[in-house]
Protein backbone atom coordinates (compact mmCIF):
# COMPACT_ATOMS: atom_id res chain seq x y z
CA UNK A 1 0.00 0.00 0.00
CA UNK A 2 1.35 3.40 -0.89
CA UNK A 3 1.74 6.34 1.42
CA UNK A 4 0.28 8.59 -1.24
CA UNK A 5 -2.88 6.52 -1.24
CA UNK A 6 -3.22 6.82 2.51
CA UNK A 7 -2.71 10.56 2.29
CA UNK A 8 -5.33 10.78 -0.42
CA UNK A 9 -7.83 8.92 1.73
CA UNK A 10 -7.06 11.16 4.68
CA UNK A 11 -7.39 14.37 2.69
CA UNK A 12 -10.62 13.05 1.26
CA UNK A 13 -12.02 12.14 4.66
CA UNK A 14 -11.18 15.56 6.01
CA UNK A 15 -12.72 17.38 3.13
CA UNK A 16 -15.86 15.34 2.97
CA UNK A 17 -16.61 15.27 6.68
CA UNK A 18 -16.14 19.00 6.73
CA UNK A 19 -18.71 19.43 3.95
CA UNK A 20 -21.00 16.81 5.45
CA UNK A 21 -20.98 18.78 8.70
CA UNK A 22 -23.24 21.18 6.83
CA UNK A 23 -25.98 18.59 7.04
CA UNK A 24 -25.79 18.24 10.81
CA UNK A 25 -25.84 21.98 11.17
CA UNK A 26 -28.85 22.31 8.94
CA UNK A 27 -30.61 19.68 11.05
CA UNK A 28 -30.08 21.80 14.13
CA UNK A 29 -31.92 24.64 12.43
CA UNK A 30 -35.21 23.04 13.42
CA UNK A 31 -34.44 23.70 17.07
CA UNK A 32 -34.21 20.08 18.08
CA UNK A 33 -31.08 18.35 19.37
CA UNK A 34 -29.29 16.23 16.82
CA UNK A 35 -30.03 12.98 18.62
CA UNK A 36 -33.76 13.54 18.44
CA UNK A 37 -33.59 14.72 14.84
CA UNK A 38 -31.67 11.63 13.79
CA UNK A 39 -34.10 9.39 15.60
CA UNK A 40 -37.11 11.05 14.02
CA UNK A 41 -35.47 10.77 10.63
CA UNK A 42 -34.71 7.09 11.11
CA UNK A 43 -38.29 6.36 12.14
CA UNK A 44 -39.51 8.23 9.10
CA UNK A 45 -37.19 6.37 6.72
CA UNK A 46 -38.27 3.03 8.14
CA UNK A 47 -41.87 4.17 7.97
CA UNK A 48 -42.49 3.15 11.56
CA UNK A 49 -40.75 0.22 13.20
CA UNK A 50 -40.00 -1.67 16.38
CA UNK A 51 -37.93 0.06 19.02
CA UNK A 52 -35.37 -2.73 19.00
CA UNK A 53 -34.56 -2.05 15.36
CA UNK A 54 -33.91 1.60 16.10
CA UNK A 55 -31.68 0.63 18.96
CA UNK A 56 -29.43 -1.49 16.78
CA UNK A 57 -29.52 0.86 13.79
CA UNK A 58 -28.52 3.91 15.78
CA UNK A 59 -26.46 2.01 18.32
CA UNK A 60 -28.14 3.63 21.31
CA UNK A 61 -28.42 2.58 24.94
CA UNK A 62 -31.92 1.33 25.66
CA UNK A 63 -32.47 3.78 28.50
CA UNK A 64 -31.32 6.68 26.40
CA UNK A 65 -33.48 5.66 23.45
CA UNK A 66 -36.47 5.29 25.73
CA UNK A 67 -36.05 8.84 26.93
CA UNK A 68 -35.59 10.20 23.40
CA UNK A 69 -38.77 8.48 22.31
CA UNK A 70 -40.61 9.87 25.29
CA UNK A 71 -39.49 13.32 24.29
CA UNK A 72 -40.69 12.87 20.70
CA UNK A 73 -43.94 11.52 22.06
CA UNK A 74 -44.41 14.59 24.25
CA UNK A 75 -43.87 16.71 21.15
CA UNK A 76 -46.67 14.66 19.54
CA UNK A 77 -44.36 13.61 16.73
CA UNK A 78 -44.58 9.87 17.30
CA UNK A 79 -46.90 7.34 18.82
CA UNK A 80 -45.76 4.26 20.71
CA UNK A 81 -47.82 1.12 20.84
CA UNK A 82 -47.32 -2.51 21.68
CA UNK A 83 -45.63 -4.37 18.87
CA UNK A 84 -47.81 -7.02 17.33
CA UNK A 85 -46.61 -10.52 18.05
CA UNK A 86 -44.46 -9.73 21.06
CA UNK A 87 -46.10 -8.02 24.00
CA UNK A 88 -42.78 -6.94 25.44
CA UNK A 89 -41.69 -4.99 22.41
CA UNK A 90 -43.02 -1.63 21.31
CA UNK A 91 -43.36 -0.12 17.89
CA UNK A 92 -43.21 3.52 16.85
CA UNK A 93 -45.03 5.35 14.10
CA UNK A 94 -44.98 9.00 13.09
CA UNK A 95 -48.08 11.07 13.77
CA UNK A 96 -49.33 13.47 11.13
CA UNK A 97 -47.24 16.20 12.73
CA UNK A 98 -44.28 13.85 12.90
CA UNK A 99 -44.56 13.15 9.20
CA UNK A 100 -44.50 16.86 8.47
CA UNK A 101 -41.36 17.26 10.55
CA UNK A 102 -39.76 14.30 8.84
CA UNK A 103 -40.48 15.84 5.48
CA UNK A 104 -38.94 19.09 6.62
CA UNK A 105 -35.76 17.18 7.46
CA UNK A 106 -35.90 15.49 4.08
CA UNK A 107 -36.15 18.88 2.45
CA UNK A 108 -33.13 20.09 4.41
CA UNK A 109 -31.10 17.09 3.27
CA UNK A 110 -32.09 17.75 -0.32
CA UNK A 111 -31.17 21.38 0.05
CA UNK A 112 -27.68 20.63 1.35
CA UNK A 113 -27.09 18.25 -1.54
CA UNK A 114 -28.45 20.77 -4.00
CA UNK A 115 -26.25 23.54 -2.65
CA UNK A 116 -23.25 21.36 -3.23
CA UNK A 117 -24.25 20.53 -6.78
CA UNK A 118 -25.08 24.11 -7.59
CA UNK A 119 -21.44 25.05 -7.08
CA UNK A 120 -20.55 23.14 -10.22
CA UNK A 121 -21.30 23.51 -13.88
CA UNK A 122 -23.01 20.70 -15.74
CA UNK A 123 -19.97 18.67 -16.89
CA UNK A 124 -18.28 18.91 -13.52
CA UNK A 125 -21.51 17.96 -11.81
CA UNK A 126 -21.67 14.85 -13.96
CA UNK A 127 -18.12 13.97 -12.99
CA UNK A 128 -18.87 14.50 -9.31
CA UNK A 129 -21.93 12.27 -9.42
CA UNK A 130 -20.01 9.61 -11.28
CA UNK A 131 -17.16 9.69 -8.79
CA UNK A 132 -19.55 9.55 -5.85
CA UNK A 133 -21.31 6.58 -7.38
CA UNK A 134 -17.98 4.85 -7.91
CA UNK A 135 -16.93 5.39 -4.32
CA UNK A 136 -20.27 4.24 -3.05
CA UNK A 137 -20.14 1.04 -5.08
CA UNK A 138 -16.58 0.30 -4.05
CA UNK A 139 -17.12 0.91 -0.36
CA UNK A 140 -20.40 -0.93 -0.18
CA UNK A 141 -18.96 -3.77 -2.16
CA UNK A 142 -15.98 -3.87 0.18
CA UNK A 143 -18.30 -4.39 3.12
CA UNK A 144 -19.73 -7.52 1.51
CA UNK A 145 -19.68 -10.66 3.64
CA UNK A 146 -20.40 -14.05 2.21
CA UNK A 147 -21.06 -17.13 4.30
CA UNK A 148 -22.38 -20.67 3.94
CA UNK A 149 -25.84 -20.72 5.41
CA UNK A 150 -28.49 -23.24 6.31
CA UNK A 151 -31.30 -22.92 3.74
CA UNK A 152 -33.80 -22.84 6.59
CA UNK A 153 -32.38 -19.69 8.13
CA UNK A 154 -34.56 -16.61 7.95
CA UNK A 155 -32.20 -14.63 5.70
CA UNK A 156 -31.68 -17.58 3.35
CA UNK A 157 -35.38 -18.10 2.98
CA UNK A 158 -35.94 -14.42 2.39
CA UNK A 159 -33.35 -14.37 -0.41
CA UNK A 160 -34.77 -17.45 -2.09
CA UNK A 161 -38.30 -16.10 -1.94
CA UNK A 162 -37.17 -12.86 -3.53
CA UNK A 163 -35.31 -14.82 -6.17
CA UNK A 164 -38.33 -16.91 -7.12
CA UNK A 165 -40.57 -13.86 -7.07
CA UNK A 166 -38.24 -12.11 -9.47
CA UNK A 167 -38.08 -15.09 -11.82
CA UNK A 168 -41.84 -15.31 -12.02
CA UNK A 169 -41.99 -11.60 -12.76
CA UNK A 170 -39.31 -11.69 -15.44
CA UNK A 171 -39.84 -14.97 -17.26
CA UNK A 172 -42.12 -14.65 -20.28
CA UNK A 173 -44.41 -17.39 -19.04
CA UNK A 174 -43.99 -16.90 -15.33
CA UNK A 175 -42.21 -19.36 -13.14
CA UNK A 176 -43.29 -22.32 -11.05
CA UNK A 177 -40.58 -23.42 -8.58
CA UNK A 178 -42.04 -26.92 -8.59
CA UNK A 179 -41.26 -27.42 -12.28
CA UNK A 180 -37.93 -25.71 -12.78
CA UNK A 181 -36.69 -24.84 -9.33
CA UNK A 182 -34.36 -27.78 -9.24
CA UNK A 183 -33.73 -29.61 -6.00
CA UNK A 184 -35.67 -28.50 -2.94
CA UNK A 185 -33.92 -26.07 -0.66
CA UNK A 186 -33.49 -28.71 1.98
CA UNK A 187 -30.90 -30.45 -0.21
CA UNK A 188 -28.64 -27.41 -0.28
CA UNK A 189 -26.69 -28.62 2.70
CA UNK A 190 -23.20 -30.12 2.81
CA UNK A 191 -21.92 -32.50 1.62
CA UNK A 192 -24.00 -32.37 -1.58
CA UNK A 193 -25.12 -28.81 -1.59
CA UNK A 194 -24.09 -25.40 -0.30
CA UNK A 195 -26.06 -22.21 0.03
CA UNK A 196 -24.26 -18.90 0.29
CA UNK A 197 -25.80 -15.72 1.63
CA UNK A 198 -24.15 -12.35 0.98
CA UNK A 199 -24.65 -9.55 3.45
CA UNK A 200 -23.77 -5.88 3.71
CA UNK A 201 -23.96 -4.47 7.21
CA UNK A 202 -25.82 -7.59 8.40
CA UNK A 203 -28.53 -7.11 5.78
CA UNK A 204 -28.89 -9.96 3.30
CA UNK A 205 -28.26 -8.73 -0.25
CA UNK A 206 -27.85 -11.87 -2.28
CA UNK A 207 -27.52 -15.62 -2.44
CA UNK A 208 -26.19 -18.45 -4.55
CA UNK A 209 -26.07 -22.23 -4.34
CA UNK A 210 -23.85 -25.07 -5.47
CA UNK A 211 -25.27 -28.60 -5.94
CA UNK A 212 -23.54 -31.87 -6.69
CA UNK A 213 -24.39 -33.14 -10.19
CA UNK A 214 -22.04 -36.14 -10.18
CA UNK A 215 -18.55 -37.06 -9.04
CA UNK A 216 -16.74 -34.41 -11.06
CA UNK A 217 -19.33 -31.72 -11.73
CA UNK A 218 -21.18 -29.22 -9.61
CA UNK A 219 -24.07 -27.01 -10.63
CA UNK A 220 -24.46 -23.39 -9.70
CA UNK A 221 -28.01 -22.28 -9.02
CA UNK A 222 -30.05 -19.46 -7.53
CA UNK A 223 -27.51 -16.70 -7.88
CA UNK A 224 -29.42 -13.57 -7.02
CA UNK A 225 -28.64 -10.00 -5.95
CA UNK A 226 -31.10 -7.73 -4.19
CA UNK A 227 -32.08 -4.78 -6.38
CA UNK A 228 -30.67 -2.31 -3.84
CA UNK A 229 -27.24 -3.93 -4.09
CA UNK A 230 -26.89 -4.23 -7.85
CA UNK A 231 -23.85 -2.85 -9.53
CA UNK A 232 -21.58 -3.60 -6.58
CA UNK A 233 -20.25 -6.85 -7.98
CA UNK A 234 -22.17 -8.98 -5.49
CA UNK A 235 -23.05 -11.69 -8.02
CA UNK A 236 -19.47 -11.91 -9.31
CA UNK A 237 -18.19 -12.29 -5.77
CA UNK A 238 -20.77 -14.97 -5.07
CA UNK A 239 -19.73 -16.82 -8.21
CA UNK A 240 -16.12 -16.70 -7.12
CA UNK A 241 -16.97 -18.17 -3.76
CA UNK A 242 -19.15 -20.85 -5.30
CA UNK A 243 -16.31 -21.87 -7.60
CA UNK A 244 -13.96 -22.01 -4.63
CA UNK A 245 -16.44 -24.26 -2.82
CA UNK A 246 -16.63 -26.46 -5.91
CA UNK A 247 -12.86 -26.80 -6.05
CA UNK A 248 -12.75 -27.64 -2.35
CA UNK A 249 -15.41 -30.29 -2.91
CA UNK A 250 -13.28 -31.90 -5.59
CA UNK A 251 -15.28 -30.90 -8.65
CA UNK A 252 -13.38 -30.12 -11.81
CA UNK A 253 -16.33 -28.66 -13.69
CA UNK A 254 -19.18 -26.36 -12.79
CA UNK A 255 -22.28 -26.03 -14.95
CA UNK A 256 -25.27 -23.76 -14.88
CA UNK A 257 -28.34 -22.93 -16.90
CA UNK A 258 -30.21 -19.71 -17.47
CA UNK A 259 -33.29 -18.21 -19.02
CA UNK A 260 -33.05 -16.08 -22.14
CA UNK A 261 -34.63 -13.08 -20.42
CA UNK A 262 -31.66 -12.82 -18.03
CA UNK A 263 -29.21 -11.25 -20.42
CA UNK A 264 -27.08 -9.50 -17.76
CA UNK A 265 -26.51 -12.84 -16.10
CA UNK A 266 -25.42 -14.38 -19.39
CA UNK A 267 -22.96 -11.55 -19.98
CA UNK A 268 -21.52 -12.06 -16.52
CA UNK A 269 -21.09 -15.81 -16.97
CA UNK A 270 -19.20 -15.22 -20.21
CA UNK A 271 -17.02 -12.62 -18.55
CA UNK A 272 -16.19 -15.04 -15.77
CA UNK A 273 -14.97 -17.62 -18.27
CA UNK A 274 -18.06 -19.77 -18.73
CA UNK A 275 -18.63 -21.23 -22.19
CA UNK A 276 -21.95 -22.19 -23.66
CA UNK A 277 -22.60 -25.94 -23.96
CA UNK A 278 -25.52 -28.07 -25.17
CA UNK A 279 -28.51 -28.73 -22.96
CA UNK A 280 -27.46 -30.94 -20.06
CA UNK A 281 -30.71 -31.01 -18.08
CA UNK A 282 -34.45 -30.83 -18.65
CA UNK A 283 -35.17 -27.56 -16.92
CA UNK A 284 -38.12 -26.19 -18.92
CA UNK A 285 -37.17 -22.61 -18.09
CA UNK A 286 -33.59 -22.84 -19.34
CA UNK A 287 -32.50 -21.61 -22.77
CA UNK A 288 -28.75 -21.47 -22.27
CA UNK A 289 -26.33 -23.85 -20.61
CA UNK A 290 -22.80 -23.00 -19.55
CA UNK A 291 -19.84 -24.69 -18.03
CA UNK A 292 -16.42 -23.77 -16.75
CA UNK A 293 -13.44 -26.01 -16.03
CA UNK A 294 -11.88 -25.20 -12.71
Partner DNA sequence: AAAATCATCTGACTAAAGTCAGGTAATGCA
Partner DNA sequence: TGCATTACCTGACTTTAGTCAGATGATTTT
What 8-state DSSP symbol labels residue 199? E
Give the Cβ contact number of residue 285 at 10 Å. 20
By CB under 7 A, tell whether 36 contacts DNA: yes
| Contact (Cβ atoms closer than 8 angstroms) between residue 282 and residue 243 | no
125 binds, among a copy of itself, DNA, none (CB under 5 to 8 A by kind): a copy of itself
3-state helix, strand, coil in the chain (%, to 5): 55, 20, 25
28 part of the interface to a copy of itself, by CB under 8 A: no
The 40-69 contact track toward DNA, x by CB under 7 A, reads ----------xxx--x----xxxxxxxx-x
**Interaction between residue 95 and DNA (CB under 7 A):** no
List, as one string, the DSSP characters of 137-154. Answer: HHHHHHTEEEEEE-TTSH
Q: Which stretch binds a copy of itself (CB under 8 A): 83-91, 138-146, 186-194, 219-227?
A: 138-146
Q: How far is CA 250 from CA 32, 241, 243, in A?
A: 61, 14, 11
Beta-sheet pairing, 288-293 with 144-149? unpaired
* Nearer CB in complex with DNA: 31/123: 31
CB nearer a copy of itself, residue 147 or residue 281: 147
Q: Which of 120, 165, 216, 275 binds a copy of itself (CB under 8 A)?
A: 120
132 neighbors 120 (Cβ within 8 angstroms): no
Select 19 or 70, whichever has its Cβ closest to a copy of itself. Answer: 19
Angle at 16 between CA 12 and CA 22, to 5 degrees: 165
In the bound state with a copy of itself, the residue whose beta carbon lies nearer, of 89 and 142, is 142
Query: Binding of a copy of itself at residue 132 (CB under 8 A)?
Result: yes
8 binds a copy of itself (CB under 8 A): yes
Kindly list the strands in the beta sheet with 253-258, ordered across the sheet, starting from the edge strand earlier in the chain.
144-149, 193-200, 203-212, 217-225, 253-258, 288-293, 275-277
Q: Choose from a copy of itself, DNA, none: what does 55 bind? Cβ within 5-8 Å by kind.
A: DNA
Helices 34-46 and 3-28: crossing angle in degrees, nearest 10, is 90
Q: Which of 279, 278, 276 is nearest to 267 (CA)?
A: 276
Residue placing its CB nearer to a copy of itself in the complex, 198 or 209:
198
Q: Of residues 88, 119, 172, 214, which one binds DNA by CB under 7 A?
A: 88
Contact with a copy of itself (CB under 8 A): which of 28, 34, 89, 135?
135
CA distance 107 to 114: 10
Q: Which is nearer to a copy of itself, 12 or 64 (CB)?
A: 12
| Whole-number Å distance between alpha carbons of 118 and 58 | 31
Stretch that binds a copy of itself, among 5-13, 92-100, 188-196, 213-221 (CB under 8 A): 5-13
Stretch of 88-96, 140-148, 199-207, 210-218 lying at the interface with DNA (CB under 7 A): 88-96
Which residues sit at the interface with DNA, rule CB under 7 A?
33-36, 50-52, 55, 60-67, 69-70, 80, 83, 85-90
Give the footprint of a copy of itself on this chain (CB under 8 A).
1, 5-13, 15-17, 19-20, 23, 109-110, 112-114, 116-120, 124-125, 127-129, 131-136, 138-143
Amino acid sequence: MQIDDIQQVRRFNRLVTQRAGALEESYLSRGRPLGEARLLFEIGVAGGCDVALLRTRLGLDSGYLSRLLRSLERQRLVELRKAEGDGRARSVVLTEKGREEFEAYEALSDEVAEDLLSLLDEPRRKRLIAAMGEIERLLRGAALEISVEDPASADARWCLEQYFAELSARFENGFDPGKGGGPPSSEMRPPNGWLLVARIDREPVGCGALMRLDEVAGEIKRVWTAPAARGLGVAARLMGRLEALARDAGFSIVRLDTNRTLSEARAMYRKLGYVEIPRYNDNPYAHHWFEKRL
